Homo-oligomer: A and B are copies of this chain.
Amino acid sequence: MQITGEMLIGQRAVRGSAGSLRAVNPALEAEMEPAFGLATTADVELACTLAEQAFDVYRNIDLEKRAVFLETIADRIMAIGPALIERATQESGLPVARLEGERGRTCNQLRLFAKVVRDGYFLDATLDSALPERTPPRPDLRLQKIGLGPVVVFGASNFPLAFSVAGGDTASSLAAGCPVIVKAHSAHPGTSELVGRAVQQAARDCGMPEGVFSMIFGDGRNVGQALVSNPAIKAVGFTGSRQGGVALMKTAASRHEPIPVYAEMSSVNPVFMLPGALQQGGAGLAQAFVDSLTLGVGQFCTNPGLVLGLAGGEFDQFVGDAVAALAGKGAGTMLTPGIHKAYTGGIERLDGIDGVTLLGRGKAEGAGCAAQAAIYLCEAQAYLANAALGDEIFGPASLFVRCRDEAELLQVARHVEGQLTATVHATSSDRELAANLLPVLERKAGRILFNGFPTGVEVAHAMVHGGPFPATSDSRTTSVGASAIDRFLRPVCYQNVPADLLPPALQDANPLHLARLVDGELRVSK
């Protein structure tokens, strides 16, 4: 499969004529071939029109065919072979093993959503029988969920496969019956084109309506804003910066018809190191923390950027062990020159704040876009007094906050903004404090984990990759795991609709063998 620099609009390959961009190899800080043509207003409109035209056809295709389509996308991605990994490595600076793993995750995600589609729980099929004898009579009422409509997905820079063209947002939108238009991330256009062509081919293989998928390139914000403003678009999936996410939220809210934006933005992922756990964990715990901090050059949404502990010997020991472990960590290449620049800027900002002490750094390296990890320390009162200390620094930096006592630790927990994750390291001797922390953390984070580190987001039914603002724009949802499909659905009630016009999910005979809530009782079909 060749990389041409074309966009994929429905089944067409279209060369954008509103300027062009090239990928940059961050390790070499060098531009790569080919040039990618950027979308014109007409290109955006064509993609939206095709998506709108495809919606009614696509959403009414058999669930089994929809599931096979998702699986075929996974097959087609695997069929690209090593060329995909090679290009993604060049464009992202991420190592081959990581990208191979990420490709596996991407395909597993598509296959999980194929299962979600087949299981049909997402339809929330609900039936209330007519009660003709009641005064007044109760009509026959049946509810199912249907797709919202065409969805715009913004590829993320930090997962060029799993949160990009055929990543979680695309998989869950397609699973929900919604056509997708991907705005490819400018940091990995070649990877995007390869995956986009795999999706396009899968749509052709499976006889899907043309507009079920498009992928376009665009520089700056204009194309993104044009997509989100288009009346055909009914929802938005985004993973990226707080600034970028908030801008999309504002655009979506100011449309004539406001639409939901699912933006996953900013999280420092507090880790509470309680004394018993520190005593028991020793240097191994500090090493595990540093491994999590520097994994993927700290470029995970769930990177542990904030560590809280109680002043005392256990915490001092942990700090010392962490500094020692960090000193041995090499600098890794960041995704883009822009991200690298923002990271070094964030470090410089921290360096300039009174009351914040640099504890230690990883190894320095001279190569382009290489990030040197860093750990800082401040006292809880300083942290509470300066809101800027709560801001995410995207990369391998973490701020340790020392609390005088349990009350102060709980105060900091209540003070932090919304988070994707909150972590507690605790043994049975820490139980009381852990129990006091838990209700605070439930209100702050989408995922609470014990005795582990937040990097590593399992794709499963019970996963929540979400959380209160600014972690995401909508705490009622998750962008990873089976429930991500719920973001793109809305309920419709059918009242006294003739049997021969009812959708299959709601027919008396239950031909899809769905679990259904019937007169308030859950009935699981065999």
Interface string of A437-473 (1 = CB under 8 A from B): 0110011011111111000101011111010111001
Mark the stretch among A63-71, A203-211, A495-503 that contacts chain B: A495-503
Assess whether A462 is in contact with B127, with CB atoms less than 8 Å apart: yes
A136 touches B450 (CB 8 A): no
Bound CA–CA A483/B490 (angstroms): 11
Are A495 and B442 neighbours in the complex by a CB distance under 8 Å? no
Q: Are A491 and B258 in contact (CB under 8 A)?
A: no
Asked if B462 contacts A141 (CB within 8 A), the reply is yes
User: Does A522 have its Cβ within 8 Å of any Cβ on chain B?
Assistant: yes
Indicate whether A408 reaches chain B with its CB closer than 8 angstroms.
no
| Interface flags, A495-526, vs B, CB<8A=1, else 0 | 11110110000000000000101011010100
Is A138 positioned at the interface, with any CB of B under 8 Å from its CB? yes
- Interfacial chain B residues near A253, Cβ < 8 Å: 249-250, 253, 258
Q: How many residues of A contact B (CB 8 A)?
A: 78
Copies in the complex: 2
A418 within 8 A of B: yes
> A454 — nearest CB in chain B belongs to which residue?
B495
How long is the Cα–Cα vector from A170 to B470 in the complex, in angstroms? Answer: 27
- Are B448 and A148 touching (Cβ within 8 A)? no
User: Which of A148, A249, A447, A461 counts the most chain B CB atoms within 10 A?
Assistant: A461
Given contacts A439-B60, A451-B496, contact A476 B148 (CB under 8 A): yes
Q: Is A348 located at the chain interface by the 8 A CB criterion?
A: no
Q: Is the CB of A469 within 8 A of B56?
A: no
A130 to chain B, nearest CB (A): 10
Q: Please, which residues of chain B bring their CB within 8 A of the CB of A522?
A: 121, 515, 522, 524
- Find out whether the CB atom of A491 lies under 8 angstroms from the CB atom of B464: yes
Nearest Cβ in chain B — how far from A254, in angstroms?
Answer: 8
Chain A, residues 467-492, CB within 8 Å of chain B (1/0): the string is 01110011111100011000001111
B517 touches A121 (CB 8 A): yes
B-side contacts of A363, CB under 8 Å: none
Q: Are B491 and A450 in contact (CB under 8 A)?
A: no
Is the pair A495, B452 in contact by a Cβ cutoff of 8 Å?
Answer: yes
A501–B476 Cα gap in the complex (Å)?
23
B498 touches A138 (CB 8 A): no
CB neighbours of A260 from chain B (8 A): 474, 476
Best-surrounded residue of A438, A495, A524 (most CB of chain B within 10 A)? A495
Whether A102 sits at the interface, judged by CB under 8 Å, is no
Would you call A126 an interface residue if the criterion is a C-beta within 8 Å of the partner chain's C-beta atoms?
Answer: yes
Partner of A435, one of B139, B463, B501, B524: B501
From the candidates B56, B426, B461, name the one contacting A126 in the complex (CB within 8 A).
B461
Contacts of A10 in B (CB 8 A): none
Q: Is A434 an interface residue (CB 8 A)?
A: yes
Q: Write out the residue numbers on chain B whose beta carbons fall within 8 Å of the beta carbon of A141.
A: 458, 460-463
In the complex, 24 of the A-B residue pairs with CB atoms within 8 angstroms, ordered by the A residue number, are A56-B439, A115-B520, A119-B520, A126-B462, A128-B458, A138-B458, A141-B458, A141-B461, A143-B461, A143-B462, A143-B483, A146-B442, A431-B500, A445-B492, A447-B492, A447-B493, A447-B495, A450-B495, A450-B497, A462-B517, A475-B490, A476-B489, A477-B490, A522-B522
Smallest CB-CB A-B distances: 9 pairs = A449-B495, A464-B493, A141-B462, A143-B462, A447-B493, A253-B253, A126-B462, A128-B460, A257-B469
Chain A residues with CB under 8 Å of chain B are: 56, 60, 115, 119, 121, 124, 126-128, 136, 138-139, 141-143, 146, 148-149, 249-250, 253, 257-258, 260, 418, 426, 431, 434-435, 438-439, 442-443, 445-452, 456, 458, 460-464, 466, 468-470, 473-478, 482-483, 489-498, 500-501, 515, 517, 519-520, 522, 524
